[in-house]
């Protein structure tokens, strides 16, 4: 099948210049296959290139391009964590944190329709430990919850090698 406006074999672009649409503009920034998964990983505490690459199984050159685009678009920022050799980690900017409601909605949609049975990730309100629903409301205390007030935990549907299990194993228990 040939798409209107594209020669056979031509790749679809990532620009929607003809569209006067906020959804199209958002897709120019995060609509590529890996972008929201990278942002999800950074939200879950994976900040270093090798951590993100290992979790996603994405080719290193593709990850480099996606991270560069997310930095250029102001979704992520690079911070030096080692000088010799220079090594960078990626942190969410305010623009990136603004994607949290989208990720929560997609996560809950995937929980309902993804066929997992049980959710692989659950969100917890740091303030009281209650679960966070798809509207970003704590089910225990009723408070609206922001990204900064949330902790992602391994859910009952998570496999043993889930990245949150690795994170929890690497984090010393609080005493």
pTM for the structure as a whole? 0.83
pLDDT band at 17 (very low <50, low <70, confident <90, very high): confident
Region of poorest pLDDT, from 89-103, 122-136, 149-163: 149-163
pLDDT band, very low/low/confident/very high, at 15 (cuts 50, 70, 90): low
- 173: pLDDT strictly greater than 60: no
Q: What fold is seen in the domain 22-93?
A: Arc Repressor Mutant, subunit A (1.10.10)
Mean pLDDT is lowest, of 67-71, 138-142, 159-163, for 159-163
- The full set of domain ranges for the chain reads 22-93, 99-170
User: What 3 state SS string does 9-55 have?
Assistant: CCCCCCCCCCCCCHHHHHHHHHCCCCHHHHHHHHHCCCCEHHHHHHH
């Amino acid at each position: 099948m040939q798409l209107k406006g594209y020669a056979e074999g031509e790749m679809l672009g990532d620009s929607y210049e003809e569209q006067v649409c906020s959804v199209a503009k958002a897709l120019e920034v995060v609509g590529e296959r890996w972008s929201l998964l990278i942002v999800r990983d950074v939200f879950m505490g994976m900040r270093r290139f090798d951590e993100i690459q290992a979790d996603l199984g994405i080719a290193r050159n593709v990850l480099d391009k996606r991270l560069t685009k997310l930095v250029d678009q102001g979704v992520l920022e690079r911070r030096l964590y080692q000088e010799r050799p220079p090594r960078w980690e990626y942190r969410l900017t305010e623009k990136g944190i603004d994607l949290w409601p989208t990720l929560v909605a997609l996560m809950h949609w995937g929980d309902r329709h993804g066929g997992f049975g049980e959710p692989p990730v659950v969100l917890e309100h740091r303030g009281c430990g209650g679960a966070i629903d798809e509207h970003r409301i704590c089910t225990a205390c009723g408070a609206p919850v922001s990204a900064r007030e949330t902790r992602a935990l391994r859910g009952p549907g998570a496999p043993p090698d889930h990245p949150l299990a690795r994170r929890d194993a690497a984090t010393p228990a609080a005493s």
